[in-house]
């Protein structure tokens, strides 16, 4: 708390309370094709483009959200396209990540198994206080659903994760996903301020 804040509001921050700016590295994990890139594009650009596809290496985007308590959280989002090719680099990729978002496709039981593999990987090699979210994407495809909501809920509960179903296509629960993650972040002193 800066001394200038004592007692009266300051014009720069619009109030007399501390504004905290938190920056976190967030990694996306999950089978190819589950919608990781689309989730990021929907969150960052507000778009869904079924034809766009990042194909080379890892891409990086950032987006800042403001919470009600005047905290801002800047997500630095790491998305690996072609996960399999870069599997050997995975530990480098999630090192230093405060958040891991593990995505599966609700129409694909294989992708749900793969999500569980990533959870175990992170439990072994990730930071011990990493915030993990389990995301069942493509929730708009109800008629093709092959993974029950309850399966996701139960697995997440057992593993101390936050669970949500999303649709990058309809934008359903995309902002909610990131807002919930922001609320669960440990704060403030153990995260880099800028």
- The site for ligand GDP (CB under 6 A) is made up of 30, 32-38, 50, 53, 137-138, 140-141, 167-169
Is 45 in contact with 59 (CB distance < 8 Å)? no
Q: How far is the CB of 139 from ligand GDP (least distance, A)?
A: 7
Closest residue to ligand GDP: CB criterion: 35
Which lies closer to ligand GDP via its Cβ, residue 13 or residue 140? Answer: 140
Is 80 in contact with 97 (CB distance < 8 Å)? no
Q: How far apart are CA 128 and CA 120, in angstroms?
A: 12
Q: How far is the CB of 32 from ligand GDP (least distance, A)?
A: 4
Is 80 in contact with 93 (CB distance < 8 Å)? yes
Question: CA-CA distances (angstroms) from residue 73 to 103, 170, 186?
Answer: 21, 24, 12
Token match 């439990």: residue? Answer: 123
Token representation of residue 20: 């905290």
């Amino acid at each position: 708390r800066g001394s200038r804040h004592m007692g009266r509001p300051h014009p720069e921050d619009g109030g007399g309370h501390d504004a905290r700016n938190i920056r976190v590295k967030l990694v996306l994990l999950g089978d190819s094709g589950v919608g990781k890139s689309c989730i990021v594009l929907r969150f960052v650009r507000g778009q869904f483009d079924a034809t766009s596809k990042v194909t080379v290496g890892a891409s990086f985007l950032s987006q800042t959200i403001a919470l009600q308590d005047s905290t801002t959280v800047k997500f630095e989002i790491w998305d690996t396209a072609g996960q399999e090719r870069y599997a050997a680099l995975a530990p480098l990729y999630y090192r230093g990540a405060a958040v891991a978002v593990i995505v599966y496709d609700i129409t694909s039981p294989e992708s749900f198994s793969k999500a569980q593999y990533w959870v175990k990987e992170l439990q072994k090699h990730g930071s011990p206080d990493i915030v993990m979210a389990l995301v069942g994407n493509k929730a708009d495809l109800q008629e093709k659903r092959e993974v029950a909501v309850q399966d996701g809920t139960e697995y997440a509960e057992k593993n101390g994760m936050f669970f949500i179903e999303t649709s990058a296509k309809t934008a359903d629960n995309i902002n909610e996903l990131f807002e919930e993650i922001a609320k669960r972040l440990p704060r403030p002193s153990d995260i880099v301020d800028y």
